[in-house]
Amino acid sequence: MYRESNVYTLGTIGNHRVVTTKLPSVGRTREAMTAAGNTTTRLLGIFQKVEYVFLVGVGGGVPHYTDYARHVRLGDVVVSSPAPDLPDKYVYIFCEKAEKNAKGGWDYEVKPYKPADFLLQDIALRLSNAKPLWDAFVREGLERLRGVPGRWEAPEGATDRLCVDIGEGAFIEVSHPAPQGDQVDRAGGGLRVHLSPVAGGRAVSGSGEARAAFAAHARALAYDCELDAVLDSVVGNRKDCFVSIRGISDYRDGTRGKDWQPHAALAAAAVMKAIVAAMPPPTD
Protein backbone atom coordinates (compact mmCIF):
# COMPACT_ATOMS: atom_id res chain seq x y z
CA MET A 1 0.00 0.00 0.00
CA TYR A 2 1.30 3.49 -0.89
CA ARG A 3 1.73 5.79 2.07
CA GLU A 4 2.35 9.51 1.86
CA SER A 5 5.73 10.21 3.48
CA ASN A 6 5.57 14.01 3.54
CA VAL A 7 4.20 15.88 6.54
CA TYR A 8 1.83 18.75 5.81
CA THR A 9 0.72 21.42 8.25
CA LEU A 10 -2.61 23.12 7.58
CA GLY A 11 -3.60 26.44 9.07
CA THR A 12 -4.95 29.93 8.51
CA ILE A 13 -3.21 33.28 8.04
CA GLY A 14 -5.55 36.23 7.78
CA ASN A 15 -8.31 35.27 5.36
CA HIS A 16 -6.32 32.50 3.72
CA ARG A 17 -5.96 28.79 4.29
CA VAL A 18 -2.35 27.67 4.02
CA VAL A 19 -0.49 24.39 3.73
CA THR A 20 3.21 24.01 4.46
CA THR A 21 5.82 21.29 4.15
CA LYS A 22 9.56 21.04 4.58
CA LEU A 23 11.75 20.11 1.63
CA PRO A 24 13.64 16.89 2.39
CA SER A 25 16.93 18.16 0.94
CA VAL A 26 18.35 20.66 -1.49
CA GLY A 27 21.51 20.76 -3.57
CA ARG A 28 22.92 19.64 -6.90
CA THR A 29 23.09 15.90 -6.32
CA ARG A 30 20.61 13.91 -8.40
CA GLU A 31 18.97 12.61 -5.23
CA ALA A 32 18.53 16.07 -3.71
CA MET A 33 17.16 17.61 -6.89
CA THR A 34 14.72 14.74 -7.42
CA ALA A 35 13.54 14.79 -3.80
CA ALA A 36 12.96 18.56 -3.70
CA GLY A 37 11.12 18.62 -7.02
CA ASN A 38 9.02 15.57 -6.18
CA THR A 39 8.01 16.98 -2.81
CA THR A 40 6.75 20.15 -4.47
CA THR A 41 4.94 18.28 -7.22
CA ARG A 42 3.31 15.99 -4.65
CA LEU A 43 2.06 18.89 -2.53
CA LEU A 44 0.62 20.71 -5.52
CA GLY A 45 -1.00 17.50 -6.71
CA ILE A 46 -2.66 16.77 -3.38
CA PHE A 47 -3.71 20.36 -2.68
CA GLN A 48 -4.86 21.35 -6.14
CA LYS A 49 -6.47 24.62 -5.03
CA VAL A 50 -3.13 26.14 -4.05
CA GLU A 51 -2.86 29.46 -5.89
CA TYR A 52 0.17 31.13 -4.33
CA VAL A 53 3.54 29.52 -3.62
CA PHE A 54 6.04 30.84 -1.06
CA LEU A 55 9.55 29.38 -0.86
CA VAL A 56 10.66 30.44 2.60
CA GLY A 57 14.04 29.85 4.23
CA VAL A 58 17.55 31.14 4.68
CA GLY A 59 20.05 32.38 2.12
CA GLY A 60 23.37 34.11 1.65
CA GLY A 61 23.48 37.88 1.36
CA VAL A 62 25.32 39.88 -1.28
CA PRO A 63 26.92 42.73 0.65
CA HIS A 64 27.78 46.13 -0.76
CA TYR A 65 31.00 47.38 0.77
CA THR A 66 30.44 51.14 0.35
CA ASP A 67 26.72 51.92 -0.02
CA TYR A 68 24.60 51.46 3.12
CA ALA A 69 21.33 51.57 1.18
CA ARG A 70 22.40 48.64 -1.05
CA HIS A 71 24.12 46.66 1.70
CA VAL A 72 22.60 43.36 2.88
CA ARG A 73 23.44 42.21 6.40
CA LEU A 74 22.85 39.10 8.46
CA GLY A 75 19.28 39.03 9.73
CA ASP A 76 17.93 41.01 6.77
CA VAL A 77 15.36 39.47 4.41
CA VAL A 78 15.40 39.45 0.61
CA VAL A 79 12.10 39.04 -1.25
CA SER A 80 12.56 37.79 -4.82
CA SER A 81 11.43 40.64 -7.06
CA PRO A 82 12.36 41.87 -10.54
CA ALA A 83 15.21 44.34 -10.94
CA PRO A 84 13.72 47.69 -11.97
CA ASP A 85 16.52 48.44 -14.43
CA LEU A 86 16.42 45.14 -16.35
CA PRO A 87 13.95 44.43 -19.17
CA ASP A 88 13.55 40.75 -18.29
CA LYS A 89 11.48 40.73 -15.10
CA TYR A 90 12.73 37.47 -13.58
CA VAL A 91 12.62 37.06 -9.80
CA TYR A 92 14.94 34.04 -9.55
CA ILE A 93 17.88 33.19 -11.79
CA PHE A 94 19.74 29.91 -11.65
CA CYS A 95 23.25 29.80 -13.13
CA GLU A 96 24.13 26.39 -14.52
CA LYS A 97 27.52 27.42 -15.93
CA ALA A 98 29.88 30.40 -15.66
CA GLU A 99 33.03 30.84 -17.73
CA LYS A 100 35.53 33.64 -18.19
CA ASN A 101 35.60 34.91 -21.79
CA ALA A 102 38.42 36.31 -23.91
CA LYS A 103 37.44 39.90 -23.08
CA GLY A 104 37.89 39.34 -19.35
CA GLY A 105 34.17 39.20 -18.64
CA TRP A 106 31.87 36.29 -17.93
CA ASP A 107 29.58 34.13 -20.03
CA TYR A 108 26.67 32.52 -18.21
CA GLU A 109 24.28 29.69 -18.93
CA VAL A 110 21.16 30.41 -16.91
CA LYS A 111 17.57 29.42 -16.21
CA PRO A 112 15.49 32.49 -15.25
CA TYR A 113 12.10 32.27 -13.56
CA LYS A 114 9.35 34.87 -13.37
CA PRO A 115 5.71 34.60 -12.28
CA ALA A 116 2.89 35.40 -14.65
CA ASP A 117 1.34 37.50 -11.87
CA PHE A 118 3.48 39.76 -9.65
CA LEU A 119 0.84 40.18 -6.94
CA LEU A 120 3.10 38.93 -4.13
CA GLN A 121 5.99 41.15 -5.20
CA ASP A 122 3.66 44.15 -5.45
CA ILE A 123 2.38 43.55 -1.93
CA ALA A 124 5.93 43.25 -0.58
CA LEU A 125 6.83 46.56 -2.23
CA ARG A 126 3.78 48.27 -0.79
CA LEU A 127 4.51 46.92 2.69
CA SER A 128 8.15 48.03 2.52
CA ASN A 129 7.00 51.61 1.90
CA ALA A 130 4.60 51.59 4.85
CA LYS A 131 4.79 50.61 8.50
CA PRO A 132 5.12 46.86 8.01
CA LEU A 133 3.60 44.14 10.14
CA TRP A 134 6.63 41.90 9.90
CA ASP A 135 8.34 43.50 12.92
CA ALA A 136 5.31 42.60 15.05
CA PHE A 137 5.33 39.09 13.60
CA VAL A 138 9.01 38.66 14.53
CA ARG A 139 8.18 39.61 18.12
CA GLU A 140 5.17 37.30 18.08
CA GLY A 141 7.33 34.48 16.76
CA LEU A 142 9.90 34.97 19.50
CA GLU A 143 7.15 34.69 22.12
CA ARG A 144 5.75 31.52 20.58
CA LEU A 145 9.21 29.96 20.30
CA ARG A 146 10.07 30.64 23.92
CA GLY A 147 11.26 27.32 25.33
CA VAL A 148 11.79 25.75 21.91
CA PRO A 149 15.42 24.57 21.52
CA GLY A 150 17.58 26.98 19.56
CA ARG A 151 18.55 30.64 19.79
CA TRP A 152 15.80 32.48 17.92
CA GLU A 153 16.86 35.97 18.93
CA ALA A 154 19.32 37.77 16.70
CA PRO A 155 22.92 37.02 17.73
CA GLU A 156 25.19 39.82 18.91
CA GLY A 157 26.01 42.32 16.18
CA ALA A 158 29.71 41.60 16.54
CA THR A 159 29.11 38.15 15.04
CA ASP A 160 28.13 39.79 11.72
CA ARG A 161 31.66 39.92 10.32
CA LEU A 162 32.11 41.26 6.80
CA CYS A 163 35.11 39.98 4.87
CA VAL A 164 36.56 40.69 1.43
CA ASP A 165 37.98 37.88 -0.69
CA ILE A 166 41.44 39.00 -1.84
CA GLY A 167 42.22 35.81 -3.74
CA GLU A 168 44.06 32.54 -3.16
CA GLY A 169 41.78 31.68 -0.25
CA ALA A 170 42.70 34.79 1.74
CA PHE A 171 40.22 37.22 3.32
CA ILE A 172 40.42 40.50 5.18
CA GLU A 173 37.76 41.78 7.56
CA VAL A 174 36.27 45.21 6.80
CA SER A 175 33.69 47.45 8.42
CA HIS A 176 30.07 47.50 7.34
CA PRO A 177 29.15 50.67 5.40
CA ALA A 178 27.54 53.40 7.49
CA PRO A 179 24.63 55.66 6.48
CA GLN A 180 25.64 58.75 4.53
CA GLY A 181 23.75 61.97 3.83
CA ASP A 182 20.00 61.45 4.10
CA GLN A 183 20.25 57.66 4.52
CA VAL A 184 18.45 56.47 7.65
CA ASP A 185 20.28 54.18 10.05
CA ARG A 186 18.09 51.10 10.51
CA ALA A 187 20.28 49.58 13.24
CA GLY A 188 17.92 48.54 16.00
CA GLY A 189 15.00 50.00 14.08
CA GLY A 190 13.36 46.81 12.88
CA LEU A 191 13.74 44.26 10.16
CA ARG A 192 15.39 45.39 6.92
CA VAL A 193 13.70 43.92 3.85
CA HIS A 194 15.17 44.16 0.35
CA LEU A 195 13.42 43.50 -2.95
CA SER A 196 15.61 42.03 -5.67
CA PRO A 197 16.17 38.87 -7.72
CA VAL A 198 17.45 35.82 -5.84
CA ALA A 199 20.17 33.74 -7.48
CA GLY A 200 21.37 30.16 -7.23
CA GLY A 201 23.89 27.79 -8.74
CA ARG A 202 27.07 26.25 -7.39
CA ALA A 203 29.06 27.73 -10.28
CA VAL A 204 28.59 31.21 -8.82
CA SER A 205 27.26 30.97 -5.25
CA GLY A 206 30.63 30.34 -3.58
CA SER A 207 32.93 33.13 -2.57
CA GLY A 208 35.14 34.74 -5.16
CA GLU A 209 35.02 36.78 -8.31
CA ALA A 210 32.29 34.73 -9.99
CA ARG A 211 29.88 35.27 -7.08
CA ALA A 212 30.19 39.06 -7.12
CA ALA A 213 30.16 39.25 -10.92
CA PHE A 214 27.00 37.18 -11.30
CA ALA A 215 25.21 39.03 -8.49
CA ALA A 216 25.94 42.31 -10.29
CA HIS A 217 24.85 40.82 -13.62
CA ALA A 218 21.54 39.53 -12.19
CA ARG A 219 21.07 42.41 -9.67
CA ALA A 220 20.71 39.69 -7.04
CA LEU A 221 21.00 40.52 -3.35
CA ALA A 222 20.81 36.92 -2.13
CA TYR A 223 21.87 33.42 -3.09
CA ASP A 224 20.20 30.23 -1.95
CA CYS A 225 21.09 26.55 -1.99
CA GLU A 226 19.71 25.83 -5.46
CA LEU A 227 15.93 25.61 -5.72
CA ASP A 228 15.62 25.38 -9.50
CA ALA A 229 14.04 21.91 -9.33
CA VAL A 230 11.39 23.28 -6.99
CA LEU A 231 10.66 26.22 -9.28
CA ASP A 232 10.53 23.88 -12.28
CA SER A 233 7.74 22.06 -10.46
CA VAL A 234 5.94 25.28 -9.54
CA VAL A 235 6.03 26.57 -13.12
CA GLY A 236 5.21 23.13 -14.51
CA ASN A 237 2.10 23.02 -12.34
CA ARG A 238 1.05 26.40 -13.74
CA LYS A 239 1.17 28.35 -10.51
CA ASP A 240 1.16 31.96 -11.65
CA CYS A 241 2.11 33.59 -8.32
CA PHE A 242 5.29 32.57 -6.52
CA VAL A 243 7.99 34.23 -4.47
CA SER A 244 11.20 33.23 -2.70
CA ILE A 245 11.81 34.82 0.70
CA ARG A 246 15.32 34.45 2.10
CA GLY A 247 16.41 35.37 5.61
CA ILE A 248 20.12 36.18 5.43
CA SER A 249 22.18 33.85 7.61
CA ASP A 250 25.63 34.12 5.96
CA TYR A 251 27.36 35.65 2.97
CA ARG A 252 27.42 32.53 0.78
CA ASP A 253 24.24 30.53 0.17
CA GLY A 254 22.66 30.19 3.61
CA THR A 255 24.22 26.82 4.46
CA ARG A 256 27.12 27.95 6.66
CA GLY A 257 25.74 30.58 9.02
CA LYS A 258 24.64 28.26 11.80
CA ASP A 259 24.52 30.99 14.44
CA TRP A 260 22.19 33.20 12.40
CA GLN A 261 20.06 30.48 10.77
CA PRO A 262 17.27 30.28 13.39
CA HIS A 263 16.70 34.03 13.55
CA ALA A 264 17.03 34.44 9.76
CA ALA A 265 14.43 31.72 9.24
CA LEU A 266 12.08 33.43 11.71
CA ALA A 267 12.55 36.77 9.94
CA ALA A 268 11.74 35.20 6.56
CA ALA A 269 8.62 33.57 8.01
CA ALA A 270 7.51 36.91 9.50
CA VAL A 271 7.76 38.59 6.09
CA MET A 272 5.80 35.74 4.50
CA LYS A 273 3.06 36.08 7.12
CA ALA A 274 2.86 39.84 6.56
CA ILE A 275 2.46 39.36 2.81
CA VAL A 276 -0.23 36.69 3.23
CA ALA A 277 -2.10 38.84 5.76
CA ALA A 278 -2.10 41.74 3.25
CA MET A 279 -3.40 39.67 0.34
CA PRO A 280 -6.98 40.25 -0.82
CA PRO A 281 -9.45 37.70 0.57
CA PRO A 282 -10.29 34.69 -1.57
CA THR A 283 -13.35 34.89 -3.77
CA ASP A 284 -14.48 31.27 -3.29
Tens of pLDDT, residues 106-125: 999 999 999 999 999 999 99
Q: For residues 75 and 154, give the distance between their C-alpha atoms in angstroms, rounded to a whole number.
A: 7
Output the pLDDT for position 5. Answer: 61
- CB count within 10 Å of CB 205 equals 26
Terminal Cα-to-Cα distance of the chain (whole angstroms): 35
Mean pLDDT estimate for the chain: 89
Task: Judge contact between 146 and 266, C-beta under 8 A.
Answer: no
| CATH class held by domain 55-278 | alpha beta
Q: What confidence category does residue 31 fall into, taking pLDDT thresholds of 50, 70 and 90? A: confident
Q: For residues 51 and 87, give the distance between their C-alpha atoms in angstroms, rounded to a whole number.
A: 26
Secondary structure E strands in 89-143: 92-100, 106-113
Q: For 175, list phi and psi in degrees, rounded to 5.
A: -80, 150
Query: In the chain, where are the structural domains located?
Result: 55-278
Q: Is 180 exposed, middle or buried (0-12, 13-18, 19+ CB in 10 A)?
A: exposed
Tens of pLDDT, residues 201-226: 988 987 678 888 999 999 999 999 88
Tens of pLDDT, residues 147-204: 888 889 999 888 998 888 777 777 888 899 988 877 776 656 689 999 999 999 988 9
H helix or E strand, kind and range, residue 42: helix 30-46
Tens of pLDDT, residues 225-249: 888 989 999 999 999 999 999 999 9
Query: How many Å is the maximal CA-CA distance in the chain?
Result: 66
